[in-house]
């Protein structure tokens, strides 16, 4: 009697892995070709993935699957943020001399503009003279 079975036992677990569920990683970056590639990307239930679009610069997708495997796909755009090392626009600032003059004029007008009271600034502090 031959105990070798010509067919695999259906009740015995196998090590078969669905190739559509296998995640392919390229240095941790998942690349897809456009929105259709993102839609076709297969996920296992309760998982998520971020995919970069190889056809549209600055576009990436986040795909999330729930506990029964239903997926939602969100599309995002990103852009580089750079810092400028150029000098500030000096026209946005006031010169010290101009500010001093404006403050003296403003204070003098608030004091009634009389010649008896005037404001003068010194290096150490501001004084009011009579």
Contact by Cβ (8 Å): 55, 34: yes
Domain assignment present for 87: no
Instruction: Please name the helix (run of DSSP H) or strand (run of DSSP E) that holds residue 63, with its range, or none.
Output: strand 59-65
What stretch of H or E contains 107?
helix 96-110
52 occurs within a structural domain: yes
Is the pLDDT at 3 greater than 70? The verdict is no
Tell me: do 73 and 98 sit in the same domain.
no
Q: What is the pLDDT of residues 6-43, one digit of tens each?
A: 566 666 655 555 555 555 545 678 999 999 999 999 99
- Residue 44 placed within a domain: yes
Three-state secondary structure call for residue 29: strand
Q: Is residue 1 part of a domain?
A: no
Q: Are residues 35 and 70 in the same domain?
A: yes
State the residue range of the domain holding 101.
Answer: 94-129
Distance CA 33, CA 83 (A): 31
Q: Are 78 and 60 in contact (CB under 8 A)?
A: yes
Query: What's the domain count of the chain?
Result: 2
User: Are residues 98 and 72 part of one domain?
Assistant: no
Residue 14 lies in a domain: no
pTM of the model: 0.45
Element (H, E) at 37: helix 34-40
pLDDT tens per residue across span 101-123: 888 888 888 887 655 555 555 44
């Amino acid at each position: 009697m031959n105990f070798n079975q010509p067919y695999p036992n259906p009740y015995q677990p196998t090590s078969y892995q669905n190739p559509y569920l296998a995640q392919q990683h390229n240095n941790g970056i998942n690349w897809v070709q456009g929105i259709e590639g993102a839609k076709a990307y297969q996920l296992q239930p309760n998982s998520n993935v971020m995919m970069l679009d190889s056809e549209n610069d600055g576009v990436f997708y986040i795909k999330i699957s729930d506990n029964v495997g239903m997926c939602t796909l969100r599309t995002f755009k990103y852009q580089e943020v750079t810092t400028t090392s150029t000098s500030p626009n000096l026209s946005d600032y006031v010169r010290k001399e101009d500010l001093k003059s404006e403050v003296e004029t403003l204070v003098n007008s608030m004091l009634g503009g009389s010649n008896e009271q005037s404001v003068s600034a010194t290096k150490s502090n501001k004084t009011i003279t009579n």
